Amino acid sequence: FIFMVEGTSYMFVTGPEVVKTVTHEEVTQEELGGAVTHTTKSGVADKAFNDDAEALLMLRRFIDFLPANNREQPPVRPTPDLGDRIETSLDTLIPDDAAKPYDMKELITKVVDEGDFFELQPGYAANIIVGFGRMEGATVGIVANQPMVLAGCLDISSSIKAARFVRFCDCFNIPIVTFVDVPGFLIGVEGERRAAPGKIINWMNALSLCTVPKISVILRKSYGQAFINMGGNKGSDEMALWPTADVGFMDPHTGVNVVFGLQKEDDPILFAKRVEELQRDAAPWELAAMYEAQDVIAPQ
């Protein structure tokens, strides 16, 4: 893991003067390899802090989540935050409108012990959230979609970020909890040229080779290939569903167009009927009845 301090930490292969001489590009140290560059654009650094004192304090907090080495179990800390705590606000966290976003970080902080969540790479590939928290005192790795960024869609950067985090958790005996609300992958021409399939498959491989316990909770949307990458289809040891869960090969409205070749303007009544059919088949209780999921649980 790499932490940097804004304004004083720099990291680059060659400095601004060499770049100017070789490529004739004029760039400052901060633009070339400062904390903001590496935490938001390159993804090389995991977190940036305001000053050295904050960096050292946060480093102590971070290390407290981790085992001393890969042969030890993560530390378990005493906590007054019991596992059977009820959090009624979670029942109304997800909006009724499926297209309306909400902040996944609010959900995570309400679920983990004492609201203590240490997020990694918050400024890079922010459409997916990774970091460490505790449940009943034990360290867990959190992987979650962020509906506030790109509607939670996945892409190349988020695939790289998630795969690396999953591998680390597997190496250091840290169970993984996944919170799912993903409409799919956002891949275009540029994505394909940047080897998007390979990055997506690397993430799938990381999950399939992962030997620590993996728990997946589907909150709302979980469509297509993204369903697999977020721990669906046996990618997790156990999968639970919120009553708002909707699992399918794609959004029902798009699915009606693809499967039946039907547009809403062609026949609004028939279109609505077909959408209802697809939504009924994707209902959480149907998935639980087929043993695809362990249970449908109340958010609280």
Considering 33-37, 97-101, 263-267, the range whose residues carry the highest mean pLDDT is 33-37
What's the start-to-end Cα distance of the chain, in Å? 34
pLDDT, average across residues 24-47? 92
Is the confidence at residue 293, as pLDDT, over 70? yes
User: 148-159: per-residue pLDDT in tens?
Assistant: 999 999 999 999
Q: How many CA atoms lie within 13 A of 125 on its CB side?
A: 27
User: 190-202: per-residue pLDDT in tens?
Assistant: 778 788 889 999 9
Strand partners, 182: 222
Is the confidence at residue 119, as pLDDT, over 70? yes
pLDDT, average across residues 234-241? 89
Please state the pTM of the whole predicted model: 0.91
Ranges of H-type helices in the chain:
16-23, 29-33, 35-40, 52-63, 104-111, 156-171, 189-193, 196-209, 224-229, 252-260, 268-281, 284-289
* Lowest model confidence (mean pLDDT) among 56-65, 72-81, 126-135, 193-202: 193-202
8 A C-beta contact, residue 138 and residue 64: no
